[in-house]
Amino acid sequence: MRAVSGKTRVCGIFGCPIGHSFSPAMHNVAFEHLGLDWVYVPYSVEPGSLPSAVAAVKSLNLAGVNVTVPHKQEAAGLMDNLSPAARLSGAVNTIVNSKGKLVGHNTDGEGFIQGLRESTGIIPNYGATIILGAGGAARAVAAALALNNMPEIFVSNRTSSKAAALAELINNNTDCKVSVLAWPECYRESNLKEKGKWQEILKRVSLVVQTTPLGMHPRENEEIPFPFNFLCPEHTVVDLVYNPSYTNFMEQSNKYGARVLNGIGMLLHQGAIAFKLWTGLEPPIEVMRKALHSEIARL
Ligand code: NAP
């Protein structure tokens, strides 16, 4: 057990529930590897308690924290400053305490881009992307793609008004063209017009990003009504779910030749970017990756 003293720098994560987060293992092992007197603590912050928890980052002089479900959007309204990605996505997953001023970042989106580059070499500035879902993760991914010059995005969400709000946000603030696509349930119901639209759009798309929790443990068998048969080897399909590490959505997509990735790369890189923001040091990526894989293997 590492000794904690009055000089130990403290950071952590605010979320609810927080018991299953992999971030403490990933960051604490990185601090130890670099011989830093830092510690990363999971804090269970109930809905409604975020303002007082954020105030404590200043009063307790924490170095910074990550923010996770359900607080990312509320956190954006509690910062002294926001990074461009946090401002565009309207969500904060990393807070840096910069001499008493709280700066909100969103490293999820850039983590997604780095994970994609690392695994596929893709620089997502060509073709078009379909994003399934319009929640916090979808906002972060859409904002990062737009900031990385992706020309066109289609957002498909069960609640279409949320997809429309995301499209409006990105269209009003970037050069990326974002349109709403009906949730593929319409396709399953043999709606021929929608079926034709999905087929035509998938011909122009190079990347599909699944951002809903469908298929995540313990709902592994939950199906996403996606027209998998329109996929081909030119498509890269990323499922942000990482537990299980090979999801039903990945398996179905791979059957039609698409290259498939899970969300581990994004999880690793969002953490590595946050580590650098707090410490100013290069994160020991391989050590952090190993810690993540051990956590996943223990599930
Ligand atoms: P969120 O803000 O709650 O959004 C959830 C999204 O999923 C919404 O678009 C919601 O649609 C949709 N959805 C939920 N249940 C559904 C269902 N039964 N049928 C159809 N759509 C459904 O959550 P989030 O923060 O975006 O997180 C979403 C997922 O991304 C989680 O699995 C999370 O673990 C993962 N994630 C991974 C990483 C990573 O590093 N790999 C980072 C962040 C998030 P409605 O709008 O219709 O409710």
pLDDT at 124: 66
- Could you tell me the distance, in angstroms and rounded to a whole number, from the CA of residue 213 to the centre of ligand 1? 5
pLDDT at 43: 98
Decide if pLDDT at 1 tops 70: no
Looking only at the bridges linking them, the beta strands covering 128-132 and 94-98 are unpaired
Decide if pLDDT at 228 tops 70: yes
- Could you tell me the distance, in angstroms and rounded to a whole number, from the CA of residue 131 to the centre of ligand 1? 11
**Active-site annotation holder among 7, 58, 72, 99:** 72
Question: Confidence band (pLDDT; 50, 70, 90) for 189?
Answer: low
Decide if pLDDT at 14 tops 70: yes
Pocket test for ligand 1, best of 89, 212, 247 (most atoms within 8 A of CB): 212
Average pLDDT, the chain: 93
HSE, CB side, 13 Å, CA atoms: give it for residue 67.
34
pLDDT at 68: 95
Each residue's pLDDT tens digit, 258-280: 999 999 999 999 999 999 999 99
Decide if pLDDT at 206 tops 90: yes
Ligand 1 atom with least separation from CA of 183? 20
Question: Confidence band (pLDDT; 50, 70, 90) for 41?
Answer: very high
Ligand 1 atom with least separation from CA of 72? 25
Reduced to 3 states (helix: H, G, I; strand: E, B; else coil), residue 128 is strand
pLDDT at 190: 65
Decide if pLDDT at 64 tops 80: yes
pLDDT at 66: 98
Decide if pLDDT at 284 tops 90: yes
CA distances from 74 to 69, 70, 299 (A): 10, 8, 30
Residue matched to tokens 């379909």: 130
pLDDT at 20: 87
Residues 180, 161: Cα–Cα separation, whole Å:
9
Q: Which of 112, 188, 168, 177 is nearest to 149 (CA)?
A: 177
| Residue 213 beta carbon below 6 angstroms from any ligand 1 atom | yes
- Catalytic annotation present for 197: no
Pocket test for ligand 1, best of 93, 139, 156, 158 (most atoms within 8 A of CB): 158
Crossing angle of helices 264-279 and 285-297, in 10° steps, is 130
More confident residue, 225 or 59: 59
Is 74:46 a contact under the CB 8 Å cutoff?
no
| Residue 30 beta carbon below 6 angstroms from any ligand 1 atom | no
